[in-house]
Chain A
């Protein structure tokens, strides 16, 4: 099978023989095949001339019988006529279904529309006679119903293409200008250099003075000139660019937003942990910490006495203003114990939890582990 495929691509005899008149490329090297998009049957240009010059005639291929005109014949772009046909169909359908994405409200709608169009194309290309006819009918109906919109979209598409062309042209022109400018500049620089050198030689010849000094001065002059020229060129470039920007509008580009400067990371998420009841000192005097402060063995490991200070001071004042008697008065009030009442005893006897529990929100475990 694979061998067949290869041979068909390479030297398939049907590629060289006209199916109508059986003339051969071997005998007629200028043999050219034409097709008509009515039925996509291939025949040589001689046959087309012979059969269709005198007016429309039916296709000479057996069992085809479609009426063809000479005007409809053209050279196939693709070697595979199936593809040629599909591309033609797509062109035709695309000219009718030429809606644009920005006409749709959501991406989903747009995709659904594309799928529908694709289905239609498939029906025309691959379907049998009936489905094809149906699809053609649909296409026609749609074309009639939406002729106005189709026309507008076509115009828009053309305009867009025009714009694109203009833009490309402008870009090409700009590139050409740049190239010319660069060339010109280079020439100028060369001329300058020559002139300078000549001047130096003249001065060396006419003036008396240190030859080295004169040469050095000349060098400096050259450097200054070239740098000045470069600066000038840069500014020109800038102005050119801005001019180009104002002249062209590229649609569909998203606005550029300056990146937001990132704030420094706050591990506590904005919680203020500054002490309110004491001022933490850098160092405190303490009898038993005196040694630790100086001891290399403590400090080498990265142990920070400041951490200890912060913790002790925090603990000294953490909860100073928490009055448990006031704040938790309403919690932990147990329900009245059920003593000696029958349900409680029953619960105990059956090994269940006694019912006399505190409030559910403050449930205490007198649960049995074992």
Chain B
């Protein structure tokens, strides 16, 4: 079973890999559905208010309707949603820095957010709620324990219920898959091997010979490339859609390509056996190089050091305002919805509790030295 076949068994490949066009189509569908729902929900709310206002006295008319804007709701487009998601991903990184969580926790959280908003719209569920839950989930899946109360306190202005309210929502949005394959460890592996290649003569491929013609000054260059590539992986890889379109190995090599194109090309070409009659391997090599280049181009669209410019910031503010107006009024209070749902099921819980009490009571009486009290009938 080759490495590629093993990667194909992962959920990241099976559920969360898309071509750019199919990803866009999915997002478009989600956006349209959500917009339709928002309009329908607003319509329902207005009707309800109209009924209640006519029942109420005429004097109070007009007070309650003021909360809803008049006219057709102006919904976000897919592009606007994407910009906002990118913004909230940056926010997540900042929040992660604030909480001092490791890089992979932040990276996982961002992937959760990105995956969630493929099938859910910002208009339905606001990202400020989701990102806290996503980050909290990421601390768990990346094995970086963070107590919930401490977590909520550290964020500030957050209660544990706020974090937990969208727990199941997010889980469902992630299609119950929590595994995210990151390129970080892959980078360490590649760097480790390149350093070994630079120092000692080890074979590049199983059964292959020791490669003699090394790029000049390789040790130094590998070290430099490592640092730079890591920066790209920590930011650019998270803020772009590369996780959906490429495999961790390709993303890693793309970041190395940006850092040191010559070195990376030498490394990749050496990974495919060079035979005169082995055209399949040569084709594969060409294809990998092409794919890595594509990935690198995508990574370059967001430079690690880049910050949203003043213009962009203004645009984002406008978008946030727009989002506020077009949110689904039925889904704003997630905590309340969660509680309502719980209490809907509370009936059964009460019965269960009562039975439990009775059982405990009888057990206690049974343990009494002279047994339970004799009932006189």
Contacts and interface: CB of A to CB of B under 8 A. Distances in A.
Interface of A: 271-279, 281, 284-286, 309, 311-325, 327-329, 331-334, 337, 339, 344-345, 348-349, 354, 356, 358, 364-367, 369-370
Nearest to A350: B40
Given A369-B168, A370-B338, A329 B19 contact: yes
A286 B202 contact: no
Contacts of A315: 181, 183, 185-186, 189, 248-249
11 contacts: A281-B196, A314-B189, A315-B189, A316-B190, A319-B4, A319-B249, A320-B253, A328-B18, A337-B33, A349-B44, A366-B33
Contact of A319 (B7, B195, B202, B338): B7
Given A271-B1, A324-B247, A333-B25, A365 B196 contact: no
Contact of A318 (B3, B33, B40, B175): B3
Contacts of A320: 3-4, 247, 249-250, 253, 271, 288
Contacts of B34: 366
Interface string B183-209: 101111110110110010011111010
Contacts of B175: 364-365
A306 to B, nearest CB: 13
Given A285-B195, A286-B192, A277 B172 contact: no
Nearest to B246: A324
A314 B185 CA distance: 9
B95 interface: no
B361 interface: no
Considering residues B17, B204, B208, B341, which has the most beta carbons from chain A within 10 angstroms of its beta carbon?
B17
Interface of B: 1-4, 6-8, 13, 17-20, 22-23, 25-26, 28-30, 32-34, 36-37, 40, 44, 118-120, 168-169, 172-173, 175, 181, 183, 185-190, 192-193, 195-196, 199, 202-206, 208, 244-250, 252-253, 271, 284, 287-288, 291, 331, 334, 337-338, 340-341
A188 B183 CA distance: 88
A354 B249 contact: no
Contact of A345 (B40, B168, B208): B40
Given A278-B193, A284-B193, A365-B119, 19 more contacts: A277-B205, A278-B205, A285-B195, A312-B188, A312-B189, A316-B186, A316-B249, A319-B8, A319-B13, A321-B288, A325-B19, A332-B23, A332-B25, A345-B36, A364-B119, A366-B33, A366-B119, A370-B169, A370-B340
Contact of A324 (B172, B181, B208, B245): B245
Given A279-B205, A348-B40, A318 B19 contact: no
A324 B26 contact: no
Contact of A323 (B248, B252, B291): B291
Contacts of A369: 168-169, 172
Contacts of B186: 312, 315-318
B192 A272 contact: no
B19 A324 contact: yes
Contacts of B120: 366
B172 A367 contact: yes
B194 to A, nearest CB: 10
Contact of A316 (B189, B205, B284, B288): B189
A333 B246 CA distance: 18
Contacts of A279: 202-206, 208
B247 A312 contact: no
B36 A311 contact: no
A277 B22 CA distance: 31
Contacts of A358: 26, 29
Contacts of A317: 3, 186, 189, 249, 271
Contacts of A275: 3, 206
B17 A328 contact: yes
Given A318-B249, A319-B250, A323-B287, A277 B32 contact: no
Contacts of A273: 1
B247 A274 contact: no
A370 B331 contact: yes
Leading 4 A-B pairs by shortest Cβ distance: A319-B247, A312-B189, A316-B189, A319-B7
Contact of A331 (B22, B199, B291, B340): B22
A273 B2 CA distance: 7
Contacts of B249: 315-320
B32 A276 contact: no
A356 B189 contact: no
B28 A337 contact: yes
